[in-house]
Amino acid sequence: MQRVYSREVGDTVIGTVEMILVGKDGSQRKRMMKIFTKRYDELTKRIVFFLAPADVTGTALLTYDYTSVGQDDDQWIYLPALHKTKRISAGNRSGSFMGSDFSYGDMTQKSLESYTYQLLKEQQVNQHAVWIIEAVPKNDEIINLYGYSKSLFLVRQDNFVVVRAVHWLKNKNILKYNEVTQLEKRGDIWVPMEVRAKTVDNGNTVHQTLLINTDVKLNTPVDDALFTKRRLKQGL
């Protein structure tokens, strides 16, 4: 897993993300956001500007994601209806991100040292050899933080990208499946362009999310001033 965590993902990433939420009955809702990410040595800064639907337009989320274990992330949200930038606690990363099948924890870099890994087997996925690796949190704190009692990662052996993952929700008979269904190579960097996620409760798919990355730019210079509360309020 060391290779997975140290895989080149770009010092900066700019992208427009569309999320399509699909209910059990096939009903769909759409979310659209522009995301800027910049990685530093011990810190990843991310700012998300929500573009759609209309009731979240103008809302923006700023996160300072610290890699060191035990350090709480800093997170602020600008709510245009309240004309206010609010600090929010980042202690619960198990919550759904905008009603999707992705949690806040799924969108952040986890600490390699927080899990015990075991190689279960090797197999082929879409003509690519993968390792199937089980990750078990080392303590209840990690379980409570991310909401998963264990996870499976299917890692492509040629590029170390996690192309499939299964997460067991703690205290529930629910599995969450994530699958990269479109992967592109930009220079030396592999970028998941389309990711599907679904929540399976007792064998029944109860909700799905399709996440589509468009307009992806890697290693483009991004001003540090973008990742500030000043810019949070000013918007895109």
Partner 1 sequence: MNWRCLSIIVILFFNFCIIGLSVCHGFAQNPDILSLEQVLQGFEEPSITVPVPEQSQGENQNSSDNSESFPDLNFTGSFSTHISYSPYRHTTAAGYSIHGLTSFKPYLALFLAGKLSEDWLMKISGWSFYDFAYTLQGRDNYSPEVLDNYEQEMELGEAYLGGRLSPLLDITVGRQIVVWGKSDFFGIANMVNPVDNRERGMDDIEIKRLPLWMTRLDAYLGPWRVSGLLTHELRYSKNPVYGHDFYPYDFPAPPREDRSNNLENSSFGISLERVYNGVDIGFYYGSFLKELDMVGLTSEVSQLSLNRLTLFSMAAEKAMDHWLFKMEAGVVGGLEYYSLPEQEKTRLDLLLGTDYTGFRNTRLSLEIINRHLFKLDSEVAERDDTPSQDSLVWAFRAARTFHREKLQFIFLSYVGGVTFSQGSVQSVSAEYEVNDSLAVTAGYVFIHSGDNYIMRDMGDNDRILLKLNYKF
Site pattern 125..164 for partner 1 (x: CB under 8 A)? -------x--------------x-x--x-----------x
Cβ of residue 181: shortest distance to partner 1, in angstroms? 9
Site for partner 1 in 1-40 (CB under 8 A): 14, 18, 20-23, 26-30
- Which residue in the set 9, 98, 107, 136 belongs to the binding site for partner 1 (CB under 8 A)? 98
- Which residue in the set 67, 92, 111, 114 belongs to the binding site for partner 1 (CB under 8 A)? 92
User: How far apart, in whole angstroms, are the C-alpha atoms of residue 148 and residue 169?
Assistant: 5
Cβ of residue 109: shortest distance to partner 1, in angstroms? 19
Q: Which residues contact 169 (CB under 8 A, 6 or more apart)?
A: 147, 148, 149, 175, 176
Which tokens belong to 165?
A: 């993952």
Cβ of residue 215: shortest distance to partner 1, in angstroms? 5
Judged by DSSP in three states, 164 sits in strand
Nearer to partner 1, 2 or 190 (CB): 190
Cβ of residue 7: shortest distance to partner 1, in angstroms? 16
Residues near partner 1 (CB under 8 A), total: 81
Judged by DSSP in three states, 28 sits in strand
Which tokens belong to 192?
A: 């998941």
Cβ of residue 112: shortest distance to partner 1, in angstroms? 22
- Which residue in the set 100, 105, 135, 142 belongs to the binding site for partner 1 (CB under 8 A)? 100
Cβ of residue 189: shortest distance to partner 1, in angstroms? 7
Integer distance in angstroms from the first to the last C-alpha of the chain? 36
Q: Does 42 bind partner 1 (CB under 8 A)?
A: no
Q: Does 70 bind partner 1 (CB under 8 A)?
A: no
Site for partner 1 in 181-210 (CB under 8 A): 186-187, 189, 193-194, 196, 198, 200, 205, 207-208, 210
Give Cα 191 distance to the centre of its chain: 13
DSSP-assigned beta bridge partners for residue 129: 124
* Residue with tokens 């923006």, as numbered in its chain: 60
User: How far apart, in whole angstroms, are the C-alpha atoms of residue 131 and residue 120?
Assistant: 8
Nearer to partner 1, 2 or 91 (CB): 91
Judged by DSSP in three states, 229 sits in helix
HSE-CB of 53 using CA atoms within 13 angstroms: 8
Judged by DSSP in three states, 158 sits in coil
